Structure 1
Amino acid sequence: MVTVNKTIKPLEVQEPTHFHRIEKTYKNNQDSDYTEKLKELGQEFNYAKNSNYYWSKPDLSLLYGTPLYDAASETQKLALNHLYWVGNYNHTAVSEASTSIYNMVTSGVFRAVGGYETLCDELDFETEQESYHIRTFQKIGYKSKMAIVGKTILGNSLYGKTEKDNNNWLNLLIPQPVREYFTSSQGSSPFSIQRDNTLSAIAKTMLSDKKQYYSQYLRNLEEKGEPIPAPADGLAGRIAPRHWLRFFTVHWGMSPFMACQYYSLRYTANAILKNQEYPYVRYYRELEQKGEYIPAPTAVSYYHLLDEAFHTTISQTIARDMYKDFPKPTAYEKFISGLIVYKIQRNLLSGLSGVLPGRCVYDDQMLMLFYYKLLKSPLFNMETKEALDWMEKCFCQEHEGFQTGLKYHHSLLELMRRLFSRLDYQWAVNRDMGIMAAGASIDKAIQNNIPVFKEFSKSVLAQDN
């Protein structure tokens, strides 16, 4: 009897496909890095050379489709087109500064886990790119804004005296030690410090089995006695108050699953930017094909999207696929991740604007204040009553601007559902973006604006008197 010896080869364990996608994205991002081109465009920008050209199709303009836009001169329409770019990229600059912080927070977790070195290198590279993007946006934005309206719409001081006067009587009723506990002119009040410490302790207690993954970035801040970062502006600043953002940041900087979940939030920022930026890219290509002059800001949008496309791929990959590398989320982690996305919908995506295309949140008094100052600026040079009359037509009556807003709302909703519908751990209302979808109503937007505008108008007239 002949015995045949068979050698059994061990099965080869293949890496998940998202590892290869991350490696490919990192390599391609390095090979096609456009930061130097963006830096050059920012340094050489001259508003006068670009002032007589539209930087996008007219529908990406402040007040587009409103009665006021229809009555505006060509010079004013060009300025409204340029100011839309300025406002959009000022907001993008602030949001990208927040992204840089959270890249460092989450990469600290992935480094602690081990095996994600290429991903961490990509996040570091993205952070470096963002610094170039931010400086370019700020340079072009500042030069353009100063050329169009000067310092007229810088700052928001309209309500300063009124609020202070209204609080005087309350200050007399509250004992000074109590006031000093809740408020401080020197920085954080004792109450806010205690609140932040309590929320941080809750997060660390609920995630105590993940303490070995706590981000080195956050450890370093704690060792220096510095607070956990919480942006007050940009997209992150709209999602929740700063103490809630600090609370969420502890989760993103401690749990591998929650670090992945953060990238669904970052994808939201990517999607909002893409929804507004891709039309600039189409416009750039149209001008290029016709051999026509391409304004520098249009070129900035084009090259920025080429860089940002890699960032979007990373956000999708981590949020949609990489979270599955780790143990299934606990009930607590599911709750926190659901709460975060719910807040994103409520505070960032729940409405519709008829005066600012691409804005998917109801118009508020701060936006009305911006437009009031714009109409009072040298660009329109209106008296108070004329400005308020035009604003009422724009905010409180149906017009084409709401239809334009609805178009951008629908395209963003599709982008959001493309990711969130695939996150099995999310609440049902988050998977189908139910709150965002319900906000796509012109009638709701107008009904929301009417009382807000009445209150705003009342404040303006009281200030004038």
Structure 2
Amino acid sequence: MRSDRPVYRKLEVNYRRNRKQYSTELLDALAADFCYQDCQDEYWHPEEFSLLYGTHLWQQSSPSQRIILNQLYWVAYYSQIISAEIATIFFNQTSAAGLYAQEDFRLVCDTLDLESSQERAHINAFKIICERVEASLFGRRIFSYPMRSPFSETMIFADTNRLKSWWKKVQLHCFGLLSSDNTFLACQYFTVRGLRTLNGKIVQHQLSRYYQNYADKNQVPIPTKISYYHFLDESFHFNSSTIISQDVINCLPKPTKFEKMVANLGIRGCQKDHYHFSVAINGIFWYDPALYSAIYQVLTSNIFGMDSREA
């Protein structure tokens, strides 16, 4: 790959700049310092990124209820990101195994190692804040969950059942096994990763701008800061996906029919995962009927005080 200097240069620049802005220790410190009571009366991102924004419930909510719905969007959104990043860590490593078998691919593997360490910091920060917020508001989990396998459904509120979930698990196991010993499929994973995260980057950019537009950076709520630093990391990760899936892959021999079939199945699966759109939460492809139980718990909590019939 070194013979293709433009591609190698892109990788070098992306890797170097990502290392330079490495913010894992900062994220760890922010998460450790988080206390919900310190920022419970503030919006954490733009108003339109609130749970149930634009619905009749939102329109009839009090100012304090709207603030909580804004904060619950953060909890719900980053609970979904945790699931995606758990899977990303695993497939980064299986893909690195497939790529390292080639000459001059160490830089790609070092990039993926760096990104995986950042993903672990993201997960830790999101998990701490989500759990503390839900414990304070509800005394139990609603959107968050214990740590899970990378072979679970990536969408935490999906149109699925036990059979579909089992079949998805089999497919993910198979792809992990194949990509760890196939350089083309290892690269092709980053096409899927890029597609999965494209919409996320659009949302995360808007969340990060809330921090950038804050007048007094010392008074920014910790979740808002974490959104900003997460976006910085993910910008480099998206660059990696683009370079590997569009440039590095062209350094390889032409794929076989089998490799093309597996690659297309991966893209098809990604499209199916992103088939739905949610009225309840802007920017996530959740299946709203699967979300009813969580919304019901929010509405019957002390925040809204509805009885079962009203909810």
> Taking structure 1 as the reference length, what is the TM-score of the superposition?
0.61
Select 1:231's aligned residue among 151, 164, 168: 151
Change (3 A) 1:81 1:40: same
2:98 equivalent among 109, 114, 122? 109
Whole-Å separation in 2 of the counterparts to 1:69 and 1:52? 17
Distance 1:83 1:144 in 2: 8
Q: Which amino acid aligns with 2:239?
A: T
Distance in 1 between the 2:218 and 2:144 partners? Answer: 37
Q: Which amino acid aligns with 1:252?
A: S
CA–CA distance in structure 1, aligned partners of residues 36 and 103 of structure 2? 48
CA distance in 2, matches of 1:383, 1:103: 46
Aligned pairs for 1:434-449 within 5 A: none
Greater Rg by CA? 1
Match of 1:72 among 40, 52, 61: 61
1:142 paired residue number:
131
**Structure 1 partner of 2:228:** 302
Residue 361 of structure 1 and its aligned partner are, at CA, apart by 4.8
Root mean square deviation, CA, Å: 2.2
Q: Which amino acid aligns with 1:367?
A: L
- Alignment length (residue pairs): 300
Q: Which has the higher contact order (CA 8 A, sep 6+)?
A: 2
CA, structure 1 residues 336+72, in 2 after alignment: closer, same or farther (shift >3 Å)? same
Q: Hey, what's the Cα distance between the residues in 1 that align with 2:286 and 2:294?
A: 16
Partner of residue 153, structure 1: 142
Alignment of 1:330-349 (within 5 A): 330-346=256-272, 348-349=273-274
2:296 corresponds in structure 1 to 372
CA contact (8 A) 2:36 2:133 kept: yes
Q: Structure 1, unaligned stretches of length 5 or more?
A: 1-12, 157-228, 388-465
Equivalent pair of 2:134/2:141 in contact (CA under 8 Å): no
State the 1:268 CA deviation: 2.6
Deviation at 1:51, TM superposition (A): 0.7
Alpha-carbon distance in 2 for matches of 1:152, 1:307 = 27
Deviation at 1:15, TM superposition (A): 2.1
Instruction: Name which of 279, 282, 292 aligns with 1:354.
Output: 279
> 1:123 — aligned with what?
112
**CA displacement at 1:125 relative to structure 2:** 1.3
In 1, the alpha carbon distance for the partners of 2:277 and 2:82 equals: 23
Q: Sequence identity of aligned pairs in percent?
A: 30
Task: Choose from 1, 4, 19 the match for 2:8.
Answer: 19
Matches within 5 A, 1:283-298: 283-288=210-215, 293-298=219-224
Alignment of 1:54 with 2:43, yes or no, is yes
Deviation sequence 1:195-223 (CA, Å, 0-9, x none): xxxxxxxxxxxxxxxxxxxxxxxxxxxxx
1:133 corresponds to = 122
Per the alignment, residue 161 of structure 2 pairs with none
Offset at 1:97?
A: 1.7
Matches within 5 A, 1:250-329: 250-288=177-215, 293-329=219-255
1:272, distance to aligned residue in structure 2 (A): 3.3
Deviates more, 1:246-255 or 1:230-239: 230-239
Q: Secondary structure at the match of 2:142?
A: coil
Task: Measure the CA separation in 2 of the matches of 1:237 and 1:82.
Answer: 19
Aligned residue in 2 for 1:39: 28
Q: Which amino acid aligns with 1:386?
A: E
Tell me how far apart the structure 1 counterparts of residues 157 and 277 of structure 2 sit (CA, whole Å).
19
Cα deviation for residue 351 of structure 1 reads 2.5
Measure the CA separation in 2 of the matches of 1:108 and 1:291. Answer: 41
Distance in 2 of aligned mates of 1:121 and 1:357: 34
* Deviation of 1:16 (Å): 4.0
CA shift, 1:152, in A, is 6.4
Tell me, in whole angstroms, the C-alpha distance in 1 between the residues paired with 2:176 and 2:141.
36
Whole-angstrom distance in 2 between the partners of 1:152 and 1:309:
30
The SS at the match of 1:380 is coil
Does the aligned pair in 1 maintain the 2:153–2:168 contact within 8 Å?
no
1:288-330, Cα deviation, whole Å (9 max, x unpaired): 3x66831111110111111121111111111111111111111
- Does the 8 Å CA contact 1:58/1:81 hold for their aligned counterparts? yes
- Separation in structure 2 between the aligned mates of residue 242 and residue 44 of structure 1, nearest angstrom: 36
Residue type matched to 2:197 in 1? Answer: N
